[in-house]
Amino acid sequence: MATHIEGRKMFLAGEWVEGERWIDVTDPQDGTLIDRVPAATKEDMEACIEAAKSGAETSARMPVVERMHIIGKAAEYIVTNSEQYARIIAKESSKTIREARKEVGRAVETLRLSAEEARRITGETIPFDQSPGGIGKVGYYRRFPLGIIGAITPFNDPLNLVAHKVGPAIASGNAIIVKPATVTPLSALLMAQAFAHAGLPEKILSVITGRGGEIGDVLVEHPAVRMISFTGGVETGLAITKKAGLKKVGMELGSNSPVIVLQDADLDDAAASCVSGAFWAAGQNCLGVQRVYIEENVYDTFKTQFIERTERYIVGDKQSEITDMGPLITEKEAKRVEALVEEALAKGATLEIGGERDGAFYSPTVLTDVPEGCALATEEIFGPVVLLYRVAGLDKAIEQANAVDYGLQAGIFTKNLDHAHRAIEELEVGGVMINDSSDFRIDAMPFGGVKQSGLGREGVKFAIQEMTDTKVICFKLG
């Protein structure tokens, strides 16, 4: 007997609204139906934007203390219901229950940071008399909200990456419309539920579920939307920049992050950090370790330790407390990863471990001797595959680490401060982690990359700067 699903409602301008059509939300582990959500129409999105115009006015007038209270109350609601939130994340996404619980904790932290940063949106006095024409004038600058923020969020962190857009937007007095990933909309709707419970005035927040091809362009192109904050793939990011027009654009577009392991490193710590960084969330992680450059004197030892740790990784049921890694988000994605690995093997790469697919599951995979012409060597894998390279030293490691079109974060393991500082100066990335893998982030730090890894910075304080404009005020004295 088929399970009857009533279907969730989407959160349109502060009201829970049904749709005439539906999108099924399934568990990538076994394809079972979890729930369904409305497939919003172009007209739904246009109505949402129209409502957000007055929502932006309400938000801009809201006292800082009220913004702080509402965001804090939403965070506490998530804490109270944290296990429910974690179970939903673990059902609709690739994350295991242990990974999902950590994401819920981070989302709470992101909202609490947003509440705190609301009180720190400050300006500065300007000494106008530094110029002859400014004598007799005094003034300052302040930051003001942009108005309506359009947010497009991905499937790999379906709650916390929504928090990273919603928290700063509300803290800075904007209205925000969230279009979550089609495959993971339930976590975003739970975020809306938290803010509805917290008493956020209507029309400030919307979470609109639907297919990007149907409603995404409306959000991106509408002139009333003053900023698009997007996390996702490079191709979609490039398309958005062409369509957005004259508005702010913030983008985090992923990477193929490198880690350098030098001969003086703590190899056990390096191997543990890199294995975790490579296979967290089934490798579907923009910071995930993809390329590891190991100094030749310690290459064999590190490789052995890395493979031994990979062999112990438990792949299976996401809801099990002992599982380390679940499936990819869809079987199609697993097949894509499988094809990339097969291409590399056909061109001469060596399979050290893994390389097996079962539906949406793809085993943790380690490759060596990967030729430069392979897509795995230059593109983002976004799956549980890591490449190990032997290098002569730091010079070659930095050269190869930079020889791609991405630059989000990198890691280096060394006890030599000179080597660490050279990596800091020369690696073309948005962040360098010393004695840690590329897969390290706290939600307060500026986060973003260079080259094809994106535009602007997230991290609550820095997202608020992106979501506000500077206004100069000058008084001419009598």
CA–CA gap between residue 16 and residue 10 (Å, rounded): 5
CB 440 within 8 A of CB 259: no
Helix (H) or strand (E) holding 418: helix 417-426
Give the Å distances, CA to CA, from 141 to 62, 125, 148, 461, 475: 20, 7, 22, 18, 12
How are the residues of the chain apportioned to helix, strand and coil, as percentages rounded to the nearest 5?
40, 25, 35
Q: Angle at CA 171, nearest 5°, toward 167 and 173? A: 120
Q: Which of 109, 286, 333, 466 is catalytic?
A: 286
Instruction: Indicate if 374 belongs to the active site.
Output: no
Q: Angle at CA 37, nearest 5°, toward 32 and 43? A: 150
CA–CA gap between residue 169 and residue 414 (Å, rounded): 39
Q: Which of 99, 109, 252, 352 is catalytic?
A: 252
In angstroms, what is the C-alpha Rg of the chain? 23
Residue 54 CB neighbour total at 10 angstroms: 15
Nearest to 90 by CA among 312, 361, 280, 317: 317
Q: Collapsing DSSP states into helix, strand and coil, what is residue 139?
A: strand
Burial class of residue 285 (count of CB atoms within 10 Å of its CB; 0-12, 13-18, 19+)? buried
Instruction: Indicate if 474 belongs to the active site.
Output: no
CA–CA gap between residue 319 and residue 430 (Å, rounded): 34
CA–CA gap between residue 280 and residue 269 (Å, rounded): 16
Q: Angle at CA 334, nearest 5°, toward 330 and 340? A: 145
Catalytic residues: 252, 286
